[in-house]
Amino acid sequence: MPVLPTDRHTGCPFDPPAALTALSDRPVRRLRYADGHVGRLVTGHAAARAVLADPRFSSRYELLHLPMPMEGAPGELPSAPVGDILGLDAPEHTRYRRLLAGRFTVRRMRQLTGRIERFTADCLDAMEQAGTTADLVEAFARPVPTLVMCELLGVPYADRGRFLGLVEVIFDQAADAGARDEAYAGLLRYVGELVLAKRAEPTDDLLSDLASFGPAPGPVPGPVPGPAPGPTSGDLAVPGSEASGLSDEELAGIGGLLLAAGLDTTANMLGLGAFALLSDPGQAAALRAEPDLAGPASEELLRYLSVADPLLRSALEDVEVEGELIRAGETVTVSVQAANRDPRRFPDPDRLDIRRRATGHLSFGHGPHQCLGQQLARVEMTVALPALFARFPALRLAVPPGEVPLRERSSIYGVVSLPVAWGEEAGEGAGEV
């Protein structure tokens, strides 16, 4: 009986593990989990949509088994910490979802386009002024979404030294469970301090808006039991203006989730997306030549790269999916990267084609927990990546593709760093993968 293949870096760094592809001939199959539990692996696109949309499959952490080993993880996972909506089912999840749904609508996110364009231009200006080489992660992929999330939530950008390192540890599957717990608790303490400040002196931002509807200030939340699986998928949601009655602890949990997931997922999509385009000069040239491809290119990169993977659910009762009976209590691992490469849904799925109509991919999840923050991510990608390639027509990798370090043990896939160069004096490093 197979275990979940995770060795994604062998071969092309943008493809799913070869062993996972080999398992994708059947859309639903048995899978052995890290603790010995026997559950299911879903790799087919239609089967994945069916599982993610069906309320008979639970997202509650305490019902799940982890498909891959995590250092120091307990035998049984704890329930979701206060404010962590990713590990909740209806009616608790529905309550939060209704409170949070109004802030990341298409219209509201498009209103942020001008500010995202400014943040992007500032980062590109700094790159240009610094010379003809850069680490694209440090100079571009990380600061753009950090600036965006800081402005949206009302988090001082000057405080990024306090939370960026914590976010990285939270998503690091190789880190000890105690270190992940400590990082998560530290992030909650930081956001909790902001919540108290926003209640006392509101400013024009999301946390202030939420705090103005909540109860009187309470104690700053401390450490939470864990580890929970954490925000590894596209279940991102954001509070709406009708929110009311959220406690300080709930606000800190929600704010910490938004800050962590909003930073890490988009930063890695920008970094890995740039790497993919630099590794395929024809696609990069098409994006430079045809600005209208910005939207389709973003959707195709989301499908092709699938950085947030997998999604976990637990069957609450016996459910048949694609002719396979999934028993109550079985954990189901939905492989987003396999579903997004399903040839029955996406012809020639292993080819990056920014002219492809890639709508229907599952990179933002599907069903009740589908990412409400997806519109913000789309705006960031459609603004930032075309601007990068337009500003630096000679942009190329400064090292051979095989030497780009990958985030192999993180729940959000990406690149650790991405050395790039532009200008005639820079050495050649680019090449197709």
pLDDT in tens, 32-84: 999 999 999 999 999 999 999 999 999 999 999 999 887 666 668 999 999 99
- With 90 as the cut, is the pLDDT of residue 411 above it? no
* pLDDT at 205 exceeding the cut of 60: yes
CA distance 183 to 170: 6
Could you tell me the end-to-end alpha-carbon distance of the chain, in angstroms, rounded to an integer? 32
pLDDT in tens, 344-392: 999 999 999 999 999 999 999 999 999 988 999 999 999 999 999 999 9
**What percent of the chain has a predicted confidence (pLDDT) above 70?**
89
pLDDT level of residue 405 (50, 70, 90 thresholds): very high
Query: Using CA atoms, how far apart are residues 323 and 349, in angstroms rounded to an integer?
Result: 24
Residue 126 has pLDDT above 80, yes or no: yes
Q: pLDDT tier at 191 (50, 70, 90 boundaries)?
A: very high
**Is residue 397 helix, strand or coil?**
strand
| Residues 207 and 154 sit within 8 Å (Cβ to Cβ) | yes
Strand partners, 415: 406
Q: What angle do CA 371, 170, 267 make, to 5 degrees?
A: 55
Phi-psi region of 369 (alpha: psi -120 to 50; beta: other; left: phi over 0): alpha
Paired residues of 331 in beta bridges: 314
Give buried/exposed letters for 312-342 (b at 16+ CB in 10 A, else e). bbbbbeebebeeeebeeebbbbbbbbbbbbb
Confidence band of 100 (pLDDT split at 50, 70, 90): confident
Identify the CA nearest to 304 among candidates 266, 265, 264, 361: 361
